[in-house]
Amino acid sequence: MPLARTLAAFLAIVAMFLTAIGAALISASEVDQRVSDITDNAAPSIEQLTSARADAQRLQFHLTEALGLGDGQRVRATAAAESDLAALKRDLTLYTGIPTFPGEEQLWAIIEKDVKELVSLAVSAIAALREPASEAPESLIRGQFATALNRATEDFMASIHLNATDAHRAAQAIETNRRHTSHLVLALTTIALVVSACVAAATARLLRTFVYLQIENERMAKDRAAELELFAARVAHDLRSPLSAASVTLEMLSRKGTPTGNVPHLVERGQSSLHRAVLMLDGLYAFARAIGSGPPGGSSVLLDAVQQTADEMRARADAAGLTIVVEPVPHHVAVRAAPGVLASILSNLLGNAVKYCPPGSRVTVRVVVEHLARIEVADNGPGIDPAVQETIFEPFVRATSGGAEGMGLGLATVKRLVEAHGGSCGVGPTPGGGSTFWLELPLA
């Protein structure tokens, strides 16, 4: 899961990076369009209309000036008016070739109509000025032409205002777009930095966990190797004694001249030695199965498991002069442990009590059920040294060095099986003397 979260965070950073790039590209495209509206439309239109307005005003000036001049000077003023008229036509031609804003086409039609009338009046005025001593141009120039010029000037100013407004609107759109894009990029960058910091922290934590697990694996491998070495040495040492005794017995039986009366005794001693070896091997096998057991599964009814185990142990208890008492067990209570696993746990605990308690002792089995099932095996035997209680569930640890057979693997097997099923176990003193071994298992 941590790796999946780290990968998801990395993909989120990539997505934010791509989103920021996409937003920047869209913003740049919009800005380019607005800039084009200003540079290719509004600015040239304003420039040409302003120039046309100036041309029209110079045309009026030169025509009015020509009225008060003599024939020679009138020719010069008329030529200047003709030049102004040509410049006006040129500026208007350039203006009509520029792309339009919405609503500007209607102004074009009005400008074209009014300018056409203005040009026609200017041409008539220039023609009249060329006639010697003509009085007609004054009323034409100061009256009709002046009126047409005012209308055309108003048209030019209306179009200039429209283009200036659209240019201002485009500039505002550029500023708004820039501001929004800056905010978006800043927000995405901040989020990406925060997520990157989290990813870096998670990666560092994963790296520390990996290093820790690697160190722990190496330590556990060394501990396992040391444990295996100790295990092999202990097994070799414990098995050597009964096998050596069996070997000596067989050697004595093989010798010639062995008294016939000693044969049954030697055979019995050899069988006893081999029986001890078999018991040790059974303990090793049970412990190995507890270590290598797979995932816990199944359930067992406590009443059946306790009664069956107690019944199996009663013959050994009677032979040892012990009494096994099973206190009332709640009906229909089951624990999360397979019947075979629970039988192995109970057999080990009851078997230890029978093995180590002196004749006349009492072994009591009781079950207490609350949120867990607690099973206790209590005896009034010699008890266990408190110094040993902390390690008694470890492999090869025995509570006594007396003559009882075994390798100290029974309680280690119990601990491995109980913990594998989510439970716990321990030992404490019995009131009045003896020991109480207990275990707790989850309810099924």
Residue 64 or residue 278, greater confidence: 64
Quote the pTM value: 0.46
Domain boundaries, the chain: 2-201, 296-442
The pLDDT of residue 136 = 54
Mean pLDDT calculated for residue range 346-366: 93
**pLDDT value of position 443:** 94
* Contacts of residue 179, Cβ cutoff 8 Å, sequence gap at least 6: none
- For residue 288, pLDDT over 60 is answered with no
Q: In the structure, what pLDDT confidence band is assigned to residue 387 with cuts at 50, 70 and 90?
A: confident
Lowest mean pLDDT among 4-8, 111-115, 320-324, 402-406: 402-406
Average pLDDT over residues 244-260: 66
**Distance between CA 192 and CA 17 in Å, rounded?**
8
Q: What is the SS3 string spanning 107-128?
A: HHHHHHHHHHHHHHHHHHHHHH
Q: What is 296-442's CATH number, 3.40.1010.10, 3.30.565.10, 3.40.50.300, 1.10.730.10?
A: 3.30.565.10
Those residues whose C-beta lies under 8 Å from the C-beta of residue 50, and which sit 6 or more positions away, are: 156, 160
Amino acid 401: pLDDT: 45
Cα three-residue angle 21-25-26, rounded to 5 degrees: 120
**According to CATH, what is the number of the domain 2-201?**
1.20.120.1730
Mean pLDDT (whole number) for 212-233? 73
**443 forms bridges with which residues in the sheet?**
335
Computed over every residue of the chain, the mean pLDDT equals 83
Read off the pLDDT band of 245 (50, 70, 90). low
**How do 372-379 and 424-429 pair as beta strands?**
unpaired
What mean pLDDT do residues 9-15 have?
74
For the stretch 388-403, pLDDT in tens is: 888 899 887 776 544 4
pLDDT for 354 equals 92
Give the pLDDT of residue 105: 84
pLDDT (mean) for 192-207: 83
Give me the pLDDT at residue 2, please: 60
